[in-house]
Structure 1
Amino acid sequence: MLKNYIKIAIRNLIKHKVYSFINIFGLALGMACCILILLWVQDEARYNRFHKNRNNLYRIYTEVQYSDGRSNIFSESYFPLVRVLKTECPDVVDAIRYSFEPGILIKFEEKIFTNNQIAFADPSFFNLFTFPFIKGDPVTALDEKFSVVITEEMSQKYFGSEDPLGKVLNINNQSDLKVTGVIKNLPKNSSFQFNCVIPFNLAFGEPDHWGGNPLETYVLLNSTSQVEEVEQKITGIKEKHDPTSSGMTVQLRLQPLTRIHLYALGGGGLITFVYIFSAIACFVLIIACINFMNLATAKAATRANEIGLRKVIGAKKSDLIKQFFGESILFSFIAFILALFIVELILPAFNSLSEKHVKLDLSGNITILIGLISIALFTGILSGSYPALFLSSFQPVNVLKRTLSSGVKSSLFRKVLVVSQFSISIFLIIGTLIVFNQLDFMQNRDLGYDKENLVFIYMQDEQNQKYESLKNELLQNSNILKITRSAQSPDIIASTHSALDWDGKDPEKKVSMNWDFVDFDYFETFKMEVVEGRSFSREYTTDATEAFIVNEEAAKLMGMESPVGKRFSFAGQKGRIVGVVKNFHFKPLHHKITPFVFGMNPDWINMMKCLFIRIGPDNISETVKYVENICKKFSPDYPFRYQLFSERINRRYRNEQRMGTIVSYFTSLAILISCLGLFGLASFMVEQRTKEIGIRKVLGSSVSRIVLLLTKEFTKWVLIANIIAWPIAYFILDRWLQNFAYSINVGPLVFILAAVVALMIALLTVSYQAVRAAIANPVESLRYE
């Protein structure tokens, strides 16, 4: 019986080549899309799961609530926290401090490289985290202060085939470190990405001061510990050693290591894209299944005699259901095999687009294998469900008398399926348009400063120490307009401080502001608008130590309409406010503009390594070359590295850009699959109405009237699909836009555009069949009547 069913299925496949191709290729595209997204989601979900202690490893982060209602969340931790947790919190098995710094110069003999990613960590780092050693002892590798553990790749780069253990690397022309271990190259799905690890105390010593510091704290808990209870304990320990000032509340929280990659602190993160992509995978697969159902039920009449005869000779309804389900699953697995070839074909392009390194490796990966087979089986059952039930319900008497009367029901069901299919496609079109509009808005919004023609350089110590000389030489070039420096780059400022005071401040009111120490010409270089007062000026000798400039949001927080001239104190430094700068975006547009204070502090000169050069719009490459030559003159051992600030800003939205592009490709794929189904359905409907079209032509109907007749119904379906898709798209995408503090207004234009695009695609798909039928010779269709 099974062999007979397979024979019939293959015979039908060959007999109806066009419909079979549309069915199988549509299903294959849908499954290929689903497989690609499954691989991407699996890769995202696997981040940090290779660590043996993954279930008990946590990162400590801090939640701060201020008396003015604002709050702040940050992962930066406290230098002494690890030491006190080890002695005062029995739930903590071990704890380490971790910091990271890119672009460090490391040399061995004549080999010098600056593209090194250095991690600073406590000695037990390799006890907590699983990074397999090739050489050396993970327990003792970082015990010595002047030691370094390097990756296999770094070992090859510096030492080739030589044994690296015991060799000495020089860091930043300052410290000589002995190689004590070599680890395997880090997996791509690790939140830690470095090529060497140095003892934490070498870089930072053992400071006792509490406060926001450039480090993160990771703890390994007992397997029996309750996270909520541990959070209360470590918060209490922190309060014991560093009491929180009145007017603010501080809570230390624990974030599981396995959630760090996907879940951003405070909500959001890449998990949003996991949900979006998963939904798209389902949508595309459903569209492909709808194609199959539509074409299978549309072709039902061609199999009516077969079904009638089978029932007459004793076939039960359950037998027919098994047969048609079997055919559907067979087609699904044929499509599945084709989908695997499609995935292998486009996987390199997908990896390049998504910046991933996923691969379709079925050997030994039982999870992905089960997942893929499940997709094929689910697709076969879903796409074959209605056709199996519909075809098996035919009555043999009606079939053999040619009085089959179930066409109205099947026609209505096909219309529902087509409307559903286009509703999904229109939703995806609207989503793609809104995503790209939001990206364009973020990249082109007025940030409060001019990001164009601005060069950023992170200065080496030699350059920073001779800053004035460097600056004077650079300004000899007429295309270099302004130069300044600061402690932080304005696109990544995260530092906040709550040791603030000003005239009229309520002592019980505890607030914080973002801050930066800058040099003269800062606001002029960035073209920031000073809306009140003045900028820092060399004409005022007190500006170097006693002047502050705040943004409009800070003035609002202080409750001052005109704060210029008012007394102000920041982190123990006292002075007066000399100016108010217009609000500017120093954070991505996901975040609201917050209060900000600028100051000048001679004690921070050595930390002010962010150099900004405003250049003219002409001869940019020649000007950058000139800057390179001057910088090398001051630091000959360091390769020249720079960034255009506009590119640096746009890189903040790299995830959104990448995901938006991927969504647009999958949307195009969904539309293509919809068009395949619509093409097949239109072809069948034209075939069914061939005699009607012939009669109309004989009676004088023009080609245009016949084309209009055949396309009118499809147009109506697409319009109904728009009515369904619009409110759903508005609700969901409005929720997505709420992730941004500043976003576009979703107006009617994007919905109208999506409707026009969908309608044009549908009409172009159907028109080919309609025109072909309209220009056919009516004699051919009426010859045997």
Structure 2
Amino acid sequence: MFRLNLKIALRNIQKNVGITSLNVGGLAIALAAFILVIMYFNYETSFDKSNPNYNNIYVVGRIYPDFKTNYTAPPFAKAIKHNFPEVEIAGITKLDPSWELVIKNGDKTVFAKNFLQADYNAAKILDLQPIGGLEKPTGDIERLAYLSTESMQILFPDKTDNSPEMVGFGPSTSGITGKINGSITSNRHSNINFDGVSIANELGKSENYGHNNYTTYIQVKPGTDIANLEQKITNLYRAELLKGETDQSTIDEIKVISTFLDPLANLHLKPRAGNDAPYKILIALSILGVLILVIACINFTNLSIAQATKRAKEVGVKKVLGAYRFQITVQFLTEIFMQCLLATILALILAELILPTFNNLFEINLSIWHADNSLIWQLPVILCLITIIAGIYPSLVLSGFKPAMVLKGNFSTNKQSYWLRNSLLVFQFSIAVIFIIGLFIIHSQLKYMRSQDLGFEATQVVYVKNIMIFNDPAKFKPVREKILKIPGVESATVSTTIPDGSESGLNGYTAGGKQANIDFVDVDFDYFETLGIKLKEGRFFSQKFKTDTANSAIINESAVAKYGMKNPVGQLIRGCNMDYKIVGVVKDFKTQGFENAVQPTIYGIKNPCGNLKVHIMLKIEESKMAGALAALKAQWPEINTKDGEDFRFEFLDELYGKLFKKQEQLQSVFFAAAMLTIFIAILGLFAFAKYITNGRTKEIAVRKILGASDIQIFKLINSSFLVMVTIANIISWPVAYILTKKWLETFAYRVDLSALPFLMSALITILLTVITVSIQAKKAVKANPVDGLKYE
């Protein structure tokens, strides 16, 4: 019996090779897209899962009335461990991604962009494992330093063991040397990435609760009540801050501060004190993948039902010979399983071909043929599911034919099947319309982001990487003078951050009796001129005014609004235990891109609580850019004597452009999804139109004999399909409006929703429908009526 069913299945596939190819091909394309999506989903949701204590590790953060942060002070970890027995271990780390450590061995150099500082407890929590095992610094050794295996290979290419090595730090003229105790492998599939690690017994020994620039990790006992622990840690933090405090306004401010515990599992996609855009994009991408697979299954169902009449006699004969409905259902499900299996094999081949492009788009390194790939067990489950989803209804329809009726020649499916086919087609086009609208709106937002005034000029600005500290303007002055002698260089400055989306510092400032936490950026002369930032009132910093290096400050428009100032120039603003005199107000400029609103910010040359001024920025004439950069590289050892061996630079507009990366990825994904959805929907429409047209051959012949023109017949055939496409647009517009509106709300600066994307989606789908159906109808319209009626 099995051999007979197999022969029938193969013969049926051979007889209907066109429809089968459409079925299998459409499903294979959708499956290939779904395989890539599920691989990406597995990758993004498995960060840090290799940590044995993955489910019990939390980051301790702070919540203020107007912001959240993961940064805490060094003493806090000790206090938590001492007061709460449910906390097994607590440790702190410090990582400054803007700081680049230069490490040398002779003529070989490594630039460690992410050099992680961790105490021994944090190293245990994060499962940092140097080659040879994790050791605790003992005796006079305060720290143990390790470099990544890649960096060690560069510095010591002939090294075969893991023994310690002496290296130089900074330029070779600095004379600073130190010991690298060995190498460590950085887990690239982790939120804690580094080029090197420094493990200490204790970090921040001399720092108090005012130095909030560390990350605190805790590992709790299994089964701990996290909500209860969170509240107890909040009470502890307030108690620590209130020690010795007598100022009532400060006490009131401390009482509204709270803490939170963020699971390690949240850090990559949806941190509580961070941007959850990656999580939203992952969910959107996953939904797209599922929808593409669903419409492919709908295609399969539609085409299988459309083919039902060709198998009616076969079913009738089998039932007369004694076959049960269950047996026939199993037979057809087996046939569909074979087609789905073939589609899966083709999908794997397609996915493998597309994977390099996909990896390049998302800057990852996925592989299908990987030993621990979850796809190994997920794919068989998916295969069974799509077989059931795509095949169960057609199998029930086919096995449900009544022998007496089909053997008399009544092959028509019932009205329920007719309505189901039409409903499924409407659903397919509804999804396609949503994708098309989404693509148009994403494109509009990206175009808006690229064309809008940022409030500063990133073009022609060169960011020079540097490790020297220029907090004192007198130290940077001779460097600036030498730089400005190079033809083409218009201005030069140094600051604590660059406007590339990097977070600036945050501190409490008081103005007009109102206290608020606002951003601060420490700058030097010519900062605003170099970036082309516009002045609203007052003046920029100038070397003509000696007080500018002592206590002058410039604030932005958002800071003026935050404090409710009128005529802010000349007023005082207090922070870091000193009074600043506001000498100017600059217009807001978008340092954080378009997703975050411009933050209230104060700019000062002197800041006792400030960060390190190491970021050099130069404004260079476009026509002289190449010559100026060549001259800078040649003269850098003389210009910046303590960091002159390694001239490294990046263009600021390219760095700022990286803020659009996620949205550009989303646009690419939506474009691919829209094309795939339209292709699969048109594929189904093409086959469905062929089936409908073939079924109306006699009707068309009669109408032509009665005088109907070709245009009238084309209109007749297209009308039912146009109704379905119109219904699909009407259904999808509200859904698309809600989804795109919610996406746009993630941007502080965005385009307004217009009717154009909705009208364009309707025009595109209607046009594609008319073309597709007309191609199929052409043969029937042009056929001789006699051929359609000669057997009547």
| TM-score range for the pair, normalised by the shorter chain length | over 0.9
C-alpha distance 141-374 of structure 1, shift in aligned 2 (>3 A) = farther
Q: Distance in 2 between matches of 1:274 and 1:605?
A: 37
In terms of mean alpha carbon deviation, does 415-424 or 775-784 score higher?
775-784
Alignment partner, residue 130 of structure 1? 127
Letter in 2 for 1:488: T
In terms of mean alpha carbon deviation, does 353-362 or 725-734 score higher?
353-362
Structure 1: 5+ residue stretches without partners = 66-70
Q: Deviations over 1:13-59 (max 9, x none)?
A: 11100000011111111222211111110011110100112122111
Q: What aligned pairs does 1:600-679 form with structure 2 within 5 A after superposition?
A: 600-601=605-606, 607-633=612-638, 634-635=640-641, 638-679=645-686
Alignment partner, residue 224 of structure 2? 225
Alignment partner, residue 343 of structure 1? 351
Alignment partner, residue 240 of structure 2? 241
Q: What aligned pairs does 1:106-117 form with structure 2 within 5 A after superposition?
A: 106-117=103-114
CA contact (8 A) 1:707 1:774 kept: yes
Q: Deviations over 1:465-498 (max 9, x none)?
A: 8522232232234532222222222344534545
Q: Deviations over 1:672-721 (max 9, x none)?
A: 21122122112222322334444555555554444343333322221111
Shift of 1:205: 5.4
Q: Distance in 2 between matches of 1:215 and 1:436?
A: 39
Q: Distance in 1 between matches of 2:149 and 2:549?
A: 48
Q: Distance in 1 between matches of 2:446 and 2:56?
A: 38
In terms of mean alpha carbon deviation, does 564-573 or 122-131 score higher?
122-131
Q: Distance in 1 between matches of 2:139 and 2:772?
A: 66
C-alpha distance 141-452 of structure 1, shift in aligned 2 (>3 A) = farther
Alignment partner, residue 25 of structure 1? 25
Shift of 1:63: 0.9
Shift of 1:784: 4.3
Alignment partner, residue 246 of structure 2? none
Alignment partner, residue 761 of structure 1? 768
Number of residue pairs matched by the alignment: 773
Query: Could you tell me which of 71, 75, 79 is aligned with 2:74?
Result: 79
Alignment partner, residue 245 of structure 2? none
C-alpha distance 200-699 of structure 1, shift in aligned 2 (>3 A) = farther
Query: Could you tell me which of 158, 169, 172 is aligned with 1:171?
Result: 169
Q: Deviations over 1:159-212 (max 9, x none)?
A: 2242241211222256433232333x333311122121113589x753323235
Letter in 2 for 1:517: D
TM-score norm. by structure 2 comes to 0.91
Query: Could you tell me which of 397, 400, 411 is aligned with 2:407?
Result: 400
Look up the SS of the partner of 1:261 in the other structure: coil
TM-score norm. by structure 1 comes to 0.92
1:307 aligns with 2:348: no
Q: Deviations over 1:552-579 (max 9, x none)?
A: 2211222222211222222222132222
Cα root mean square deviation, aligned: 2.7
Q: Distance in 2 between matches of 1:483 and 1:157?
A: 33
CA contact (8 A) 2:209 2:241 kept: yes
1:737 aligns with 2:744: yes
Look up the SS of the partner of 2:307 in the other structure: helix
Q: Distance in 1 between matches of 2:182 and 2:409?
A: 83
Shift of 1:412: 2.5
Q: What aligned pairs does 1:239-388 form with structure 2 within 5 A after superposition?
A: 239-243=238-242, 245-247=251-253, 249-266=256-273, 268-361=276-369, 363=371, 365=373, 367-388=374-395
Q: Deviations over 1:594-648 (max 9, x none)?
A: 2211122176899222222222333433333333334343256542222211111
Look up the SS of the partner of 1:270 in the other structure: helix
Q: Deviations over 1:361-395 (max 9, x none)?
A: 36565x43231111111111111122122222322
Q: Distance in 1 between matches of 2:559 and 2:148?
A: 46
CA contact (8 A) 1:513 1:594 kept: yes
Q: Deviations over 1:308-341 (max 9, x none)?
A: 2222222333333222223222222221222122
Shift of 1:782: 4.6
Alignment partner, residue 68 of structure 1? none
Letter in 1 for 2:503: A
In terms of mean alpha carbon deviation, does 140-149 or 414-423 score higher?
140-149
In terms of mean alpha carbon deviation, does 757-766 or 275-284 score higher?
757-766
Q: Distance in 1 between matches of 2:424 and 2:36?
A: 25
Letter in 1 for 2:192: F
CA contact (8 A) 2:110 2:151 kept: no
Structure 2: 5+ residue stretches without partners = 243-249
Letter in 2 for 1:272: K
Look up the SS of the partner of 1:220 in the other structure: strand
Q: What aligned pairs does 1:472-621 form with structure 2 within 5 A after superposition?
A: 472-492=481-501, 494-503=503-512, 505=513, 509-601=514-606, 607-621=612-626
Q: Deviations over 1:738-779 (max 9, x none)?
A: 222222211111111122222233333333223344344555
Q: What aligned pairs does 1:55-204 form with structure 2 within 5 A after superposition?
A: 55-65=55-65, 71-102=66-97, 103-135=100-132, 137-140=134-137, 144-145=141-142, 147-162=144-159, 163-173=161-171, 175-183=176-184, 185-199=185-199
Q: Distance in 2 between matches of 1:172 and 1:89?
A: 42
Q: What aligned pairs does 1:674-693 form with structure 2 within 5 A after superposition?
A: 674-693=681-700
CA contact (8 A) 1:136 1:181 kept: no
